[in-house]
Amino acid sequence: MLGAARRQLGSGPMLGQVLRRLRPATAAAADAARAYSAAAKEMTVREALNSALDEEMSADPSVFLMGEEVGEYQGAYKISKGLLDKYGPDRVLDTPITEAGFTGIAVGAAYQGLRPVVEFMTFNFSMQAIDHIINSAAKSNYMSAGQISVPIVFRGPNGAAAGVGAQHSQCYAAWYAHVPGLKVLAPYSAEDARGLLKAAIRDPDPVVFLENELLYGESFPISAEVLDSSFALPIGKAKIEREGKDVTITAYSKMVGYALQAADILSKEGISAEVINLRSIRPLDRATINASVRKTNRLVTIEESFPQHGIGAEICMSVVEESFEYLDAPVERIAGADVPMPYAANLERMAVPQVDDIVRAAKRACYRAVPMAATA
């Protein structure tokens, strides 16, 4: 990678010096098996991300990985396992704990035609580098009248994990989806992780890639098509994980698994729920969402993040603007509690959406439950 960098950036000593210092339930699983009927094997999300990185680094010598503990330690979550041994320290770079520093270096490398993949140990730490992500990466193509492309991926775990407190539990989907010039992806399954990460690395624009720590060890059926090295998923296209006719449920990341569990419970009570895995937060697949709502006439949105100015609010507005006359019930929005994440396990559980919350919301939308206002 340093050879490529020197060809792009010159042979001065500074670049070299700086670079070198620098879980779904059984019911949801059954739904997944149905959705991947052609699957030949299973793969964890961790393995999917690792294989995507490996194949893209093998195919394109301009791709390199940098971040804290990505090399010698094999990655804080072992996403980069084996990559240092295979590609060496010039393309798998361990950095100091200086997010602003190494993110700025990566953006500069992207300006010159390299394809950096920046790993944040948690997206909460991306706040240290948010100026480079938004002002240096997201706006440069527009401000240069298209003369500067910034092919860079910012990736790492996002949202709540377990018992890590308010400062390590925040979801940044709405933060980054607010910014023109960024693409924001949030995978759920192994297919999502593999296909979307490959697409992100190949994309000419900056991509924020929001993973979930609790999904890394989850296994999903995966087909031979997905295992092909040329496979990639289209950015901006949602996936209907489960078809239904009575209510549309939208979700992303870990909440897709919860939505599938809720849909299974609802089916036993005669409610057919359609579950949409958003996959792409920006651009948002408004067409798929609205087409589903026009079929089911009801909508429940789910997200783990705070409710105000959230992804669910944007989806609700899209449906109001494009499909309002098709709605037979008020839109239901399920989100995390509007409080910093508690540390105590019992309070933490109350602060994030649960399967029962989704079931109750879908029943309200289908007029199968007493409205909350009536029980107050």
Which residues are catalytic, by number? 99, 168
- 8 Å CB contact between 141 and 150: yes
Q: Is residue 261 within 8 Å of 27, Cβ to Cβ?
A: yes
136's tokens: 């240096």
To the nearest 10 degrees (0 to 180), the angle between helices 13-21 and 99-111 is: 140
Token output for 37: 């009927």
CA nearest 225: which of 203, 194, 263, 197?
194
Q: In what order do the strands lie in the sheet with 207-211?
A: 92-94, 63-67, 115-119, 153-157, 207-211, 183-185, 280-282
Integer Cα distance of 63 and 65 in angstroms: 7
What is the spatial distance between Cα 53 and Cα 139, in angstroms, rounded to a whole number?
26
